[in-house]
Amino acid sequence: MSGREDPEGDGTRVVRAGLPAPVGGQPFLPGPMFAAPYHLGEGERYYARYQNPTLEAFETALSTLEGGPVVVFPSGMAAISALLLTALRPGDRVVVPSDGYFGTRVFAHQELARFDIGVEELSTVDLDEVAGAGGLEGVALLLIESPSNPCLDVCDIAAVASAAHDSGCLVAVDNTAATPLGQRPLELGADFSVAADTKALSGHSDLLMGHVAARDTERASRILAWRTRSGAVPGPFEVWLAHRSLGTLDLRLDRQAANARALAETLVDHPAVTGLRYPGLRTDPSHDQFSAQMRRPLGLLSFELADAATVERFLAASRIAVAATSFGGLHTTVDRRAQWGGDHVSEGFVRVSCGCEDTVDLVADFVAAADSLVSPP
């Protein structure tokens, strides 16, 4: 992982991000403002669809982490769709990750096509070569997901962004898995960073949220105008919850990453497990680029079991793992991705999102569950 580059550490930054100066007798983070109309003469605060003090505070917090202006949305898909619809025009071409979140591909193919926008797919592992060979000529926007979800492949964002810009192509990075603490796409040359904050950033599996960060204020203003006109404004309580949760992000990511590494190191040679992927392992195909690019380890890993029935047996044998499709929360979850039909994976492929349980307990539980798959009945 890269060394410390900020005057303050991540823990200090997330605890203080977006908070007002402390006032005696007042909470560190003021409670959510629920009012819809405001009195005239309060600057831009005259109607909550345009702006809200609770929303402003959270956007300020994320801006300090992303390194650019931020617009918050009520879900990750709302953020991605706003980005695509504001950055593209009829007749444009967009490239989306073939191995990224399948909901993005569905939106691109089914919704952007109505605006005569050409949609192409490209895998994360092919991006470096295609971009370097001038394969993005005529493309208006490239959407990268690195590390990709669910297979955890990594591309050289800085090199791809540079090559894309040489071809006149804008670059956006889906940074959901990494969060701004793990990776800063804008610093690596991307024009946009987009994320589903439903996942690790809020981290408690109790709200929906998303955001877009832009390299410059003009593009951010365009996205903000879209949010205002479309009405895709998050509720103040959800925003307040997300901001409250932000303060523990550094601690949560540390424990999740420690758990993921321990599981990966333990399960990589287990007879019930094949195809284990964790970029933090030296044997992983993405290890070198991941180590050079990421600021901290990841709390996700993936591997394959024999088939869907074997996954069910594994989950039944585990005391800790919970079957769930979201990730990044306090609780360790296992998702058999093939059940959703959107990813090119085997029936026994699982993505594991490590939670904040005790590492020794989690490893012992997973080993026992895996052992049960190869033990005689």
Which residues are tagged catalytic?
49, 101, 174, 199
> Of 26-35, 114-123, 247-256, 352-361, where does mean pLDDT reach its minimum?
26-35
Model confidence at 43: pLDDT above 70? no
What does the buried/exposed string (b/e) look like for 212-237 if buried means 16 or more CB atoms within 10 Å of the residue's CB? bbbbeeebbeebbebbeeeebbbbbe
* Residue type at position 286: S
Residue with tokens 């192509």: 169
Q: Indicate the pTM of the whole model.
A: 0.93
Tally helices (H) and strands (E) across the chain. Answer: 13, 12
Over residues 328-335, the mean pLDDT reads 97
Residue 46 confidence class, pLDDT cut points 50, 70, 90: low
Percent of the chain past pLDDT 90, that is, above it, reads 86
Q: What is the pLDDT of residues 64-85, one digit of tens each?
A: 999 999 999 999 999 999 999 9
> Of 29-43, 86-100, 116-130, 245-259, where does mean pLDDT reach its minimum?
29-43
Q: What is the pLDDT of residues 108-143, one digit of tens each?
A: 999 998 999 999 999 999 999 999 899 999 999 999
CA distance 84 to 275: 33
- With contact defined as beta carbons under 8 Å apart, do 10 and 250 qualify? yes
- Residue 251 has a pLDDT of 98
Over residues 144-150, the mean pLDDT reads 96
Two domains, one topology: 10-246 and 249-374: no
Separation in Å, CA 303 to CA 177, 280, 286, 288: 17, 14, 15, 20
The alpha carbon of residue 221 and the mean position of all alpha carbons in its chain are separated, in whole angstroms, by 22
Neighbours of 271 (CB within 10 A): 9
The β-bridge partners of 172 are: 143, 192
Domain 249-374 classified CATH 3.40.50.800?
A: no
- Residue 44 has a pLDDT of 64
- Residue 138 has a pLDDT of 96
Residue 45 confidence class, pLDDT cut points 50, 70, 90: low
Model confidence at 54: pLDDT above 60? yes
**Residue 94 is inside which H or E element, if any?**
strand 93-97
Model confidence at 42: pLDDT above 60? no
For the chain, the average pLDDT equals 94
Laid out side by side, the sheet with 118-122 consists of 70-73, 210-214, 192-196, 170-174, 141-145, 93-97, 118-122
The alpha carbon of residue 206 and the mean position of all alpha carbons in its chain are separated, in whole angstroms, by 16
CA distance 251 to 254: 5
**Residue 336 is inside which H or E element, if any?**
strand 333-336
Laid out side by side, the sheet with 349-353 consists of 274-277, 300-304, 349-353, 333-336, 322-323
Phi first, then psi: give them for residue 70, nearest 5 degrees.
-125, 140
CA distance 97 to 41: 46
Model confidence at 313: pLDDT above 90? yes
- Residue 307 has a pLDDT of 97
Q: What is the pLDDT of residues 153-184, one digit of tens each?
A: 999 999 999 999 999 999 999 999 999 999 99
Model confidence at 37: pLDDT above 90? no
Domain 10-246 classified CATH 3.40.50.10070?
A: no
* Residue type at position 71: V
Q: How do the domains of the chain map onto residue ranges?
A: 10-246, 249-374
Q: What is the pLDDT of residues 277-311, one digit of tens each?
A: 999 999 999 999 999 999 999 999 999 999 999 99
- Residue 184 has a pLDDT of 98
pLDDT, greater one: 132 or 271: 271
Model confidence at 212: pLDDT above 90? yes
Residue 5 confidence class, pLDDT cut points 50, 70, 90: low
